[in-house]
Amino acid sequence: MKLQLSFPEERTISKSIKITGSKSETNRLLLLQALFPTIAIENLSNSDDGEVMQKGLKKTSGVVDIHHAGTAMRFLTAFFASQEDRKVVLTGSQRMQERPIKVLVEALRELGAEIQYEKNEGYPPIKIIGKKLAKNKVSLPANISSQYISALLLIAPSLANGLELELVGKITSVPYIKMTLALLEQIGVQTSFEGNQIRVYPKEKVKETTLVVESDWSSASYFYSIVALCNPGSEVQLSSYKENSLQGDSVLTELYKDFGVETIFEGNLITLRKTSENNIQFVEYDLSNAPDTAQTIAVTCLGLGMGCHLTGLHTLPIKETDRLAALKTELTKLGAEVEIDAESLTLKPSKSIVPGVSIDTYNDHRMAMAFAPLGLKRDITINDAGVVSKSYPDFWNDLEILGFKIVNV
Ligand SMILES: O=C(O)C1=C[C@@H](OP(=O)(O)O)[C@@H](O)[C@H](O)C1
Ligand SMILES: C=C(OP(=O)(O)O)C(=O)O
């Protein structure tokens, strides 16, 4: 599916959108629910990644294919490895077979797990023969992906003696680790995180409890970008969000002030309002705590003619695509001057955006969604637009609600 986007001349919006639950919280809670069936969950994510996680958790044998879902791959690896009655081959899309899993596999093996690589050492697919994991201490590198750490923490309360992790190196994507620990605390599991040591205590039973997933802040990022590119006075209302979020991407409320967007919290609604034309020419952010916002922010800057220097992007090359390379290629097509290195992106302020460009999306939902707001400024085509279903299947419908004209070409 190839979609051409445009927007009426008058760039003013005043609309409400409902976004479903965070995919990160959803996939954590689904795993915890499999371990502790007394947990009920509301406002689940309707994403493909949430769906493959739900299906995967039910499998006891055979091949489990989680497609593009990084969290499902990592969380299910730990889950299956710790379940005595399960024996599966866990696999994913071609890209998933290029996303490293060695750090997690080695940590699990250290704890007593039986896991073998089916194709390439260090990468899915992997064969997992579930075992009671006997040990309760392990150290692992923390600078590649926080998902390895969250995966271990999620199974930790079900291990006889809980788990002690020693994190080696600079810890990346820290809010995602804290989210995991906070959800464990919410179901009554005791945890601690001091320096580079994390401890999770064992738990046999969880009392009946219903957890409501907050809506997805990474999905909200695209509306921040849209509002930033609109005329002052424009606003978009989103539900259901909290001022005290577990999601690190809620840092958007602060960052987008630089682009003239204010966030107003009222009950469980947020209103994003464009209050002023931006008068900043250049922004610098370290996004190591909010890596999924990098594409959105880079495109907002281009849309506003601003420059940016984004750092802390060392995890981007191993995500759904090499996001640094993909950003450079697509921003350049639009006329931008971009430089990247292993962990940063620099965009020069530019005066114009090339019209009529087709954006390639590289099987990456965030490439499609991050570039879509530019439809407010120029006709733009998004190739393979169906990729959004990985995290946000309703994305294009919601853009139509805002007034975008979307044509299947
Ligand atoms: O734990 C999670 O839910 C996630 C952690 C982050 O990954 P890394 O820790 O690999 O940066 C993030 O990019 C991903 O979208 C979701
Ligand atoms: C990186 C992402 O997801 P995952 O790693 O779970 O595939 C994402 O949603 O941006």
pLDDT of residue 8: 87
pLDDT of residue 277: 84
ipTM value: 0.99
Q: 136-160, pLDDT tens digit by residue? A: 999 999 999 999 999 999 999 999 9
Is 249 catalytic? The answer is no
> Is 65 strand, coil or helix?
strand
Amino acid identity of residue 289, one-letter, is N
Dihedral sign (CA 333, 338, 341, 342):
negative
For the chain, give every residue range classified as CATH 3.65.10.10: 3-21+214-408, 23-212
Q: Summarize the confidence of residues 351-360 as an average pLDDT.
A: 95
Mention every residue, 6+ apart, whose C-beta is less than 8 A from residue 408: 1, 2, 3, 4
pLDDT at 201 over 80: yes
Pairwise CA distance, residues 409 & 375, whole Å: 15
pLDDT of residue 254: 98
**144 touches 101 (CB < 8 A):** no
Residues having CB within 6 Å of any atom of ligand 2:
68-71, 292, 319-320, 366, 391
Q: Indicate left, alpha or beta for 50 from its phi (over 0: left) and psi (-120 to 50: alpha).
A: alpha
Q: 203-260, pLDDT tens digit by residue? A: 999 999 999 999 999 999 999 999 999 999 999 999 999 999 999 999 999 999 999 9
Q: Summarize the confidence of residues 159-184 as an average pLDDT.
A: 98
Best probe residue, ligand 1, of 27, 48, 66, 173 (max atoms within 8 Å of C-beta): 173
Q: Which class for 132: exposed (0-12), middle (13-18), buried (19 or more C-beta within 10 A)?
A: exposed
pLDDT of residue 351: 86
pLDDT at 54 over 80: yes
Structure tokens of 99? 């996303």
Catalytic residue among 249, 292, 364, 398: 292
The values of phi and psi at residue 197, to 5°, are -115, 130
Nearest CA-CA partner of 96 in 72, 116, 114:
72
Residue 93, CA distances (Å) to 14, 126, 323, 361 in order: 39, 13, 17, 16
- In whole numbers, what is the pLDDT of the chain averaged over residues? 97
Ligand 1 midpoint to CA 10 (Å): 37
pLDDT of residue 278: 74
Residue 178, CA distances (Å) to 88, 150, 210, 258, 289 in order: 29, 9, 20, 26, 11
Q: 84-141, pLDDT tens digit by residue? A: 999 999 999 999 999 999 999 999 999 999 999 999 999 999 999 999 999 999 999 9
Pairwise CA distance, residues 53 & 21, whole Å: 14
Kind of pairing, strands 163-168 and 197-200? antiparallel
pLDDT of residue 283: 98
pLDDT of residue 10: 85
What is the gyration radius of the CA atoms in the chain, in angstroms? 21
pLDDT at 173 over 90: yes
CATH dotted code for 23-212: 3.65.10.10
> Is 160 strand, coil or helix?
coil
The residue whose CA has the least distance to atom 7 of ligand 2 is: 70
Best probe residue, ligand 1, of 32, 75, 145, 367 (max atoms within 8 Å of C-beta): 145
Q: Does domain 3-21+214-408 have CATH number 3.40.50.10540?
A: no
Ligand 2 midpoint to CA 123 (Å): 16
What is the pTM assigned to this prediction?
Answer: 0.98
Mention every residue, 6+ apart, whose C-beta is less than 8 A from residue 284: 308, 309, 310, 311
Q: 273-327, pLDDT tens digit by residue? A: 999 887 799 999 999 999 999 999 999 999 999 999 999 999 999 999 999 999 9
Pairwise CA distance, residues 286 & 308, whole Å: 11
Ligand 1 midpoint to CA 187 (Å): 22
User: For every residue of 66-127, which 3-state class applies, written as one string?
Assistant: CCCCHHHHHHHHHHHHCCCCCEEEEECCCCHHHCCCHHHHHHHHHHCCEEEECCCCCCCCEE
Residue located via tokens 């979020």: 245
Confidence of residue 183 (pLDDT cuts 50, 70, 90): very high
pLDDT of residue 279: 79
Ligand 2 midpoint to CA 50 (Å): 12
pLDDT at 368 over 90: yes
Mention every residue, 6+ apart, whose C-beta is less than 8 A from residue 114: 81, 128, 129, 131
**321 touches 363 (CB < 8 A):** yes
pLDDT of residue 245: 98
The residue whose CA has the least distance to atom 10 of ligand 2 is: 292
Counting from 1 in the atom list of ligand 1, the atom nearest the Cα of 28 is 3
